[in-house]
Structure 1
């Protein structure tokens, strides 16, 4: 299996950003509905200080990435693009996902240092900074039904 490059990773990230943005909007609407039910009209989206919104959004992104990578080795965006996160020992087909600890470390580094994806441009095996830190790689591994 070959390593996924910058273009494939970026396309998957666009899909994932859309999913997380939709989830963030849904959380805002649900919180507004709860506030409306408890406190009454008017219905308004919650207004949070910038730091609180940023912190909450970062936690949501880390949870989203960690869950996808730990459970099935890919996020929905990576599923669409036929990419999978594997451990370095598991670069052959049919390996298990990286696990919760490794996925969490990887997700935190992605959120804290997103520009680290540019390392794929100079890395011989197209690994990003978070792959180096977590001992992972992103490989092309299309879903079984798409491969037929």
Structure 2
């Protein structure tokens, strides 16, 4: 935190491409595990409902891709809007914030999530960007920073707000 009475939250170092890629890989794994859990739960319900007629569903590639895309967008958008971080970001000590270091809000989080899922290669732009910002960051005016308090939530104004871990 800044000195008492300071108007601006402390500036944090912008995260690099390797850390962000590792967090994205963890988040992709989380999305796949959530999808598998949802599929198994749905199959379990179908089995309990009608055990004699139960068969594993044959899901098309288009349906699978659509479901994974939707799940990923919702997962990312909710995490960024509510806490400024996903599970992968928390593990690696990152937080997604607005340029003013506050939370993004729902609309910008949703747009950033959609852009990240539809065009993940945009993340690589932060490797050559002087400000370490991806194309998605430039689109929604966000930054990804190393979080100095990994178990503290960011308030809407970017200041730390103590929560239970």
TM-score (norm 2): 0.79
The 8 Å contact of residues 73 and 110 in structure 2, kept in 1 or not, is answered as yes
CA 1:12–1:45: 2 relative to 1, 3 Å: farther
The 8 Å contact of residues 81 and 142 in structure 1, kept in 2 or not, is answered as no
Aligned to 1:135: 141
| 2:59 match: secondary structure | coil
The 8 Å contact of residues 32 and 68 in structure 2, kept in 1 or not, is answered as no
Distance in 1 separating the partners of 2:151 and 2:116: 29
The answer to whether residue 115 in structure 2 is matched with residue 109 in structure 1 is: yes
Structure 2: gaps spanning 5 or more residues? 1-11, 153-165
Distance in 2 separating the partners of 1:142 and 1:47: 46
CA 1:120–1:44: 2 relative to 1, 3 Å: farther
Structure 1: gaps spanning 5 or more residues? 91-95
- Comparing 104-113 with 136-145, greater Cα deviation is found at 136-145
- Structure possessing the higher radius of gyration over alpha carbons: 2
The 8 Å contact of residues 6 and 120 in structure 1, kept in 2 or not, is answered as yes
Aligned to 1:29: 40
| Structure with the bigger percentage of helix | 1
Aligned to 1:58: 69
Task: Write out the 4+ residue segments of structure 1 that deviate beyond 6 Å after TM superposition.
Answer: none
The 8 Å contact of residues 13 and 146 in structure 2, kept in 1 or not, is answered as yes
Q: How many residues are aligned here?
A: 141
- Comparing 37-46 with 18-27, greater Cα deviation is found at 37-46
TM-score (norm 1): 0.88
1:41-85 deviation line (CA, Å, top 9, x unaligned): 465543211111100110000000001100010001001111011
